[in-house]
Structure 1
Amino acid sequence: MNKVLVFALLVCFFSGAIWGVGGMSFSGSELGVSIKDVLEMGSYCATIFVALIGAKTLTAWQSQFKHSEKYKAIKSFQNKLYGEQVGEVYLYSTMQQVMDSINQGAPMGLLDGVKFFQERSQAWVSHCFEMEQAWAEMTLFLSESEIKHFNITPRDVENNVSDARMIMLRYYEDGNNNAIEIYKVCRSASENLKENFRSLRTDTNSFIKLVLG
């Protein structure tokens, strides 16, 4: 694009120079007027050409800027897709809290491990918030068709974990101390969590290759 601009400027310069020389050399003759008119028309055409190039350059710059911002937003989202360990700890902490509450016959809020669980819960909530925020910022630069490239969203990941937690809490509410079943729920949710994060990473990587190059 820079070469095109240089070429356009050179066209303007030489057109003006030729127009000036033509005007001085042939201004007194009928032929001179004709040449001057032709050169003047050429100068006008060169001016229009430069204007079109300028508009094209502005459009290309805007497109390049948007492309760059889109890439930054996608990379920022991609950097948030490594939270499966935080989610796993949260799930297993929930499982432990439920089982301890059932075994000890105590309300979940009165157990010794409540502080530990709250820390893990806060870590997961914070990660989900950051991931959701990065997703929202990224989708501002994407069209509806581009968003459809992603099979799942961060909200899906968060909802799957929340659903598993609710299932485990029902065991506590029902007084069901079937540790094996509670473990199966937690284990299944953990595997789904890892698969969901892998899916998001895969979709993001392929999107960068296919759309952004």
Structure 2
Amino acid sequence: HCQQHIQNFLGQKVKRVLFIPYALHDRDAYARTAREKFESLGYGLDSIHESRDPVEAIRKSEAIFIGGGNTFRLLKALYDNSLIHEIRKRVLEDGVPYMGSSAGTNVATVSINTTNDMPIVYPPSLKALGLVPFNINPHYLDPDIKRTHMGETREERIRQYHEEPNTPPVLGLREGTMLLVEGDKATLQGVTGARLFLRGKKPTEHEPGTDFSFLLTDSNPLNP
């Protein structure tokens, strides 16, 4: 559902995409799958795990795509390969397009505190790339009163996160939804909508097309 969005985002200038497959164990298979998809869209793809120098690969990249999988495994690998600063610089200072799916979306935010994944490995910090000044919960699920599952709902877990001091907004992205950030503008795209959680406030529903640009400012008045 996102092929046209990818082409619109990357445009004509980007010829090759640098793929970061660290979130899955079988990086070769993951890279093959990603390469087939991007080549079908007209882009070449290089996987960073095939590079002898990951830092140099980031510095030469035209666009960066981080795929989904386990967020803890992904973030640990980014730290282990000294890529946090390099990706931040490439995206925020050089303007290189960044795309993230699932875990790749989590690491683009302030921290991975609102991931859905199990901590199968331990990164040196939960602090992530910080490309945007808020957190995202991918694959957001609404409470289902018909289910027999008695565990916490996603909303309850996010509320627990916001019980801690100085926690940023959390945007719950449902399947089929994406957030487009270009400069100082952030727009919700897709088909299913999102749920926004602000510390100390009731969550709010937002339809595709919503302007979330206010979340990009550090002076966001809705974030106490």
TM-score (norm 1): 0.18
Structure with greater proportional helix content: 1
Higher Cα Rg: structure 1 or 2?
Answer: 1
TM-score (norm 2): 0.17
